[in-house]
Chain A
Amino acid sequence: MPNAIPEDSVGIVEPQIARFDTPLELTCGRTLDSYELIYETYGTLNSDRSNAVLICHALSGTHHAAGYHSMDDRKPGWWDAYIGPGKCIDTNRFYVVCLNNLGGCSGSTGPTSIDPKTGNQYGPDFPVMTVPDWVNSQVRLGEYLGIETWAAIVGGSLGGMQALQWSINHPERMRNTVIIAAAPRLTAQNIAFNEVARQAIMSDPEFHDGRYADHNTIPRHGLRLARMVGHITYLSEHSMGDKFGRDLRTDKINFGYDVEFQVESYLRYQGETFSESFDANTYLLMTKALDYFDPAAAFGGDLSKAVAQAKSNFLLVSFSTDWRFAPSRSEEIVNALTEAGRNVSYACVESPHGHDAFLIPNERYEAIFSAFMQRVADQAENVQATEKGEAACI
């Protein structure tokens, strides 16, 4: 709990819900007739709506990117280090929107929502989502909020993939794209890790083919394992070694199978907290969306042809010890963009924190991110000035 709200925080925020009754056609061939998206906004939309920034979340992210829901909150939103007054995504200048994706479990329509057709939870019957489906739903959220053109679409990891897809599918609706610690598609190794996580969940006896709600239970054990394996891929060997080394919880080895090393205890704790708060069907769905992501596929596998559709300016950032989406994966996107002659800047930031680095404060990351976003803000203000000028002429 914060004793007092820090000065560079967006403060107490309240989520809002947008309801959509126009059917959304999905990549899988199915249709969602109606759905809700939960979202938060920070900062003020300017009069010509040119300063809106959309934040896309990663695998287990939510709409709560910054600030606090109440003074009792233990922690602020997941990207609070980068969103707030005077921060990289400066809420003094931007109107920031962050939503929970469709299929999520934090308030947007997803597997835990009630299917109006049956009156029961969707559970495993909720359609498998893809990144393009999310982008389409986000376009509608923009329309709902009256935003025709986003000043920037920003995301890390799976969020960065959504930003990339946006830039290809909706070049007219955005001026800038920020893609952090992402990849143009998953490798076999990435998919393999996701499959281990899915198997952990699906082989839990409490999973009941995804209908665990009907049995008043959750596949706790499977989710725990899924999170543990996922968490290993988010950290670097170095940061794990640094944090835990081979430290023991007690002063001696017990020659047993209980928790002995600190790293075991940490992973179990991470798994436990996660398994109580995250829905298993959502986890399956999110990992599938990751596996299916491949924007180049629609262009004969040629990523540079795909990004040639884009018109925005790009910033890409990767982290030196990220092995989930290594710097070379970001560089594939950068190379496709230079080949297509698009405006792009790229930095590989030195960090010991592996994939998680995109969430953690880091001086160099902040410097370059903030330099880019300041130009985005200047541009948004110029758009406004120009339009005002034109209006004055009329």
Chain B
Amino acid sequence: MHLSRPDLAIIQNWIQPNSRVLDLGCGSGDLLDFLKQKKQVHGYGLEIDDQKITECVAKGVNVIEQNLDDGLSNFKDQSYDVVVMTQALQAMKRPDLMLEEMLRVGKECIVTFPNFAYWRCRFYLAVKGEMPVSKSLPHTWYNTPNIHLSTFRDFEQLCKSRNMHIIDRAVGNSEHESHWATNLWPNLFGEVAIYRVTR
């Protein structure tokens, strides 16, 4: 079996065998299914989409219907090794509180989000004067679920101000392919990033 989404392939490298994992916005459970089979990970996915919840159940992935904006108060402090959230932080009502919650429940967390300072976004806004629409940000401003877009620099500043430590970072294009330019100047050339954060 393999993971079709490249970000998930990177994430799974950062997760130790036999760990306890909470996957926030787990979709149809591909990551947890992979981790369960390849790394004997025990975990739960939280999801609100009916269809995806059923897909998880059909795969045998533990899935719990829960709205992430309501917080994680039903999970105890430091009860998971890793809390993962892919492509959803920017859709949270309060991404900062979400991050705090993730680090309360988990020993470390892994988040991925699109970079609003990516050169195409900057170009789109500067030249067209419109909110950028791209592969990683496919919605228009009025119907987008992405209500808290940020840049890599914004995110890193948030982490710093809250005493959160970034252990790892992988930057790439929407396919998560790395390029020399993304490594040299990530906030301009990186389209999406995966951060691994701890206290």
Contacts and interface: CB of A to CB of B under 8 A. Distances in A.
B79 to A, nearest CB: 7
A345 B76 contact: no
Given A331-B74, A339-B79, A368 B64 contact: no
Nearest to A334: B64
B42 A341 contact: yes
Interface in B2-58: 20, 42, 44, 50, 53-58
A345 B64 contact: yes
Given A347-B65, A375-B58, A341 B53 contact: no
A346 B58 contact: no
Contact of B54 (A335, A338, A339, A371): A371
Contacts of B63: 345-346
A295 B131 CA distance: 56
13 contacts: A339-B76, A339-B79, A341-B20, A344-B44, A345-B53, A346-B64, A347-B53, A364-B54, A367-B54, A371-B57, A372-B57, A375-B57, A375-B58
B173 interface: no
Contacts of A348: 65
A386 interface: no
Contacts of A338: 44, 64, 74-75
A374 interface: yes
Interface string B126-148: 00000000000000000000000
A343 interface: yes
B53 A368 contact: yes
A328 to B, nearest CB: 10
A197 interface: no
B62 interface: yes
Among the interface residues B50, B55, B64, which one has the most CB atoms of the partner chain A within 10 A? Answer: B64
A293 B64 CA distance: 25
Given A344-B62, A348-B65, A368 B74 contact: no
A339 B53 CA distance: 20
Interface in A285-341: 313, 315, 331, 334-335, 338-339, 341
A22 B194 CA distance: 64
Interface residues of A, number: 21
A335 B74 contact: yes
Contacts of A315: 57
A359 to B, nearest CB: 20
B71 interface: no
Interface of A: 313, 315, 331, 334-335, 338-339, 341, 343-348, 364, 367-368, 371-372, 374-375
Contacts of A341: 20, 42
A392 B153 CA distance: 63
Contacts of A364: 50, 54
A367 B56 CA distance: 12
A368 B75 contact: no
Given A348-B65, A371-B55, A375-B57, 12 more contacts: A334-B64, A338-B75, A339-B79, A344-B62, A345-B62, A345-B64, A346-B63, A364-B50, A364-B54, A368-B53, A371-B57, A375-B60
A345 B29 CA distance: 12
Interface of B: 20, 42, 44, 50, 53-58, 60-65, 74-76, 79
Nearest to A343: B62
A46 B178 CA distance: 54
Contacts of B76: 339
B23 to A, nearest CB: 13
A367 B61 CA distance: 15
A315 B63 CA distance: 10
Contacts of B58: 371, 374-375
A60 B20 CA distance: 42
B121 to A, nearest CB: 37
Nearest to A317: B65
Report, nearest first, the 10 A-B pairs whose CB atoms are least far apart: A371-B58, A371-B57, A335-B74, A346-B64, A367-B54, A347-B65, A368-B54, A345-B63, A345-B57, A371-B54
B75 A346 contact: no
Contacts of A346: 63-65
Contacts of B54: 347, 364, 367-368, 371
Contacts of B56: 345
Nearest to B67: A348
Contacts of A347: 50, 53-54, 65
B21 to A, nearest CB: 12
Contacts of A331: 74
B35 to A, nearest CB: 14
Nearest to A375: B60
A367 to B, nearest CB: 5
B97 to A, nearest CB: 20
Contacts of B20: 341
B61 to A, nearest CB: 8
A334 B46 CA distance: 12
